[in-house]
Amino acid sequence: MKKIFISILSITAILTSTVSCSDNLEEINKNPNSPAVNSIPAYAFFNDATVALMDDTRGNFASGRMALPWVQYSAQRNYTEEDRFQFREGTNQNLFTDLYLAASDFKTVIDLNTNTATKDRNSAYGNNNNQIAAARVMLAYTFLQIVDAYGDAPYYSYGNDDPDFQALQLADGFEKPKFATQVKIYTDLMKELKEAAAMIVTSESKVFTNGDQLFGTPAKLKKFANSLRLRIANRVKGVVPGAEAHITDAISGGVMTSNTDNVGLTYEANDVNPSPFYDDFYIGNRTDFAISNTLVDLLKGNLGTFGVVDPRLQKYAAPKSASKTAVKDATYIETDDLSQYVGMPYGITSAQAAGQRGGTSFWSSNVLKQDYTEILMEYSEVEFLLSENNAWNITNYKKGVRASMERWGVTTAKIDAYTATLTVANAENVLTQKYIALFMQPYESFAEYRRTGYPNTLLKPGGTYTFNTPVNGVTTYTFIALNDLKAIPARFTYPVNLAQINGENVTAAAASIGGDKLDTKLIWAKK
């Protein structure tokens, strides 16, 4: 799964983002179907883009130092300034760039399966329509990450020639693309997913004969396309015209119905191509991240409305007595002694963190392992979406909780005991359980928190909280954001270097969304 080549189009995108067009670069821009690209099979681009997308959005910077702590799945053990929203601009720039580089490779999959000079050759590696559909679905997933994070953004569509959709089209002269509006992007994402699902040839045995780390069968791809459309339509219902119709249509088209439908990238069980956080902890020899006290206290039943211990606590967190090596080797023993599960205090200063990290829990061996699966979307989320759209249906609610627990290996007896306590399905309960199930999927959790305000147990800037110290006992502190924010951020700001590259369109986009600020709400955000 290691990157085995460098995308020619990705190189072109980087060059265009850092230097003005010279005659030589213009020559490159006019030749997107170069022999170097044409000689590489489409599945290689698909595989490369998939791995890069997960590496770059789920790793220790864009995830560990931005999204994960912001939704309080983690708290940093060293550099807590980032937990308090003083993120590194380089991290933001890399995230923005990496998302577009992945999108560029997915577009190349389409190009190679539509170009008359290359489509026949690529048909040997899977039905052309299925390869195109897979790329359209992954483009939709990638651009969803972009629009959910930033708002208005440069956008590309395979099936829509809207003049505002100018991203990924360097050869057509769009080196400085417009930023499409959120309404246009979300509308087209739903359309693209509907059309992609419709073009899938389900009679084929595989989507790709090589290099597909996500789907395998066309049937699974179709369920993912419909489930992702359900996610998007639910997010923008009441805001983007037609979203409600997409909800109904996506469900009737067939969404995920079990954990076998989950879509995720499973890394290799070795130290060559391991999962991003295993790589950071054990190859990079870092221990910057711990599970947060907010999540641990919610799972213990000390926060929120549930009031009972969630058996996913022991699946998400290691006992505080488990060393880094014990977590790596999975040699510690899960215990019902709740005092062994202690989250890192969230929102404290770096100086305060130094005295806390030694007595807190790492993530468990289920997370910090070589062959961890980074989830793009799972069945439990679908059940929570169905519950919300069925007037907070309790059957869907319990199915969602059960599916999440089964995925994490909770015993049937513990699942039965816990779900028996779930007697009320309402917005708070369903959406809080959805948050718990989305553990380690921080971007989706971040979007849902901004849309709904749940879970309402997250610590907020300006709030006064407590943590324990070995010497002084309970210590009171105020969670102070380092950029005067009064709430958890509402979006990521546009990377600073974009103003140098594409200043006119960045300025227009900032005006369109109401200001390029961390507290500027997107169109679907809770007011």
Residue-range domain boundaries for the chain: 276-478
Give the per-residue pLDDT at 39.
86
pLDDT score for 25? 28
Which H helix or E strand runs over 70? helix 68-70
Strands (E), 235-294: 263-266, 289-291
Which strand (E) or helix (H) includes residue 75? strand 74-76
Strand partners of residue 292: 344
Phi, psi of 478 (to 5 degrees): -110, 130
Other Cβ atoms less than 10 A from the Cβ of 271: the count is: 11
- What 3-state class would DSSP assign to 292? strand
Contact at 8 Å (CB) between 115 and 33? yes
Task: Give the pLDDT of residue 19.
Answer: 34
Q: What's the pLDDT score for residue 170?
A: 84
Global pTM reads 0.93
DSSP string covering 212-240: -SS-SSHHHHHHHHHHHHHHHHHHHTTTS
Of the chain, the percentage scoring pLDDT greater than 90 comes to 88
Q: Please, are residues 498 and 167 in contact by the beta-carbon 8 Å criterion?
A: no
The C-alpha torsion from 325 through 326 and 329 to 333, rounded to 10°, is: -170
Query: Residues 316-337: pLDDT tens digits?
Result: 999 999 999 999 999 999 999 9
Q: Measured between alpha carbons, how far is 337 from 319 in angstroms, rounded to an integer?
A: 9
Distance CA 102, CA 111 (A): 14
289-310 mean pLDDT: 97
Which residue has 């961390």 as its token pair?
518
Q: How far apart are CA 116 and CA 240, in angstroms?
A: 37
Planar angle of CA 487, 490, 494, nearest 5 degrees: 130
Look at residues 281, 293, 295 and name the one whose alpha carbon lies nearest to residue 323: 281
DSSP secondary structure code for residue 283 in this structure: I
Residue 35 has pLDDT above 70, yes or no: no
**Are the C-beta atoms of 523 and 182 separated by less than 8 Å?**
yes
Q: Quick one: pLDDT at residue 29?
A: 37
Structure-token pair, residue 139? 């483009």
**Architecture field, domain 276-478:** Alpha Horseshoe (1.25)
Task: Please say whether the beta carbons of 482 and 84 come within 8 A.
Answer: yes
Cα distance between residue 33 and residue 12, in whole Å: 12
Distance of CA 120 to the CA centre of its chain: 34
41, 3 Cβ separation under 8 angstroms:
no
* Cα separation, 478 vs 149, whole angstroms: 27
Give yes or no for a cis peptide into 455 (omega within 30° of 0): yes
Q: What is residue 12's predicted lDDT score, i.e. its pLDDT? A: 40
Under the banding of pLDDT at 50, 70 and 90, the label for residue 473 is confident
pLDDT score for 16 = 40
**Contact call for residues 110 and 506 (beta carbons, < 8 A):** no
Please give the Cα distance from 215 to 205 (Å, whole number).
Answer: 11
Q: What is the mean pLDDT of residues 174-186?
A: 96
Asked whether the predicted pLDDT for residue 352 surpasses 90, the reply is yes
The mean pLDDT of 17-34, rounded to a whole number, is 38
- What is the phi-psi region of residue 473: left when phi exceeds 0, alpha when psi lies from -120 to 50, beta otherwise? left
Please give the Cα distance from 299 to 449 (Å, whole number).
Answer: 18
| Closest to 110 in 3D by CA, of 173, 157, 50, 172 | 157
Mean pLDDT for the stretch of residues 254-261: 98
Q: Which residues pair with 76 in a beta bridge?
A: 289
**DSSP result, 312-347:** THHHHB--TT--HHHHHHT-S---S-GGG--PBPSS
The whole-number average pLDDT for the span 209-229 is 96
Residue 413: which residues within 8 A CB-CB, separation 6 or more?
Answer: none
Buried b (16+ CB within 10 A) or exposed e, 495-511: bebbeebbeebbeebbe
Residue labelled with tokens 């910077």: 61
Tell me which residue of 67, 65, 63, 150 sits closest to 488, measured CA to CA. 67
Mean pLDDT, rounded, for 1-6: 38
Question: Is 421 in contact with 415 (CB distance < 8 Å)?
Answer: no
C-alpha atoms less than 13 angstroms from C-alpha of 47 in its C-beta half-sphere: 21
CA 11 to chain centre: 24
**pLDDT of 359 strictly over 60:** yes
pLDDT in tens, 413-426: 999 999 999 999 99
The residue-averaged pLDDT of 43-56 equals 96
Q: How far is CA 58 from CA 70, 106, 141, 145, in A?
A: 14, 19, 14, 12
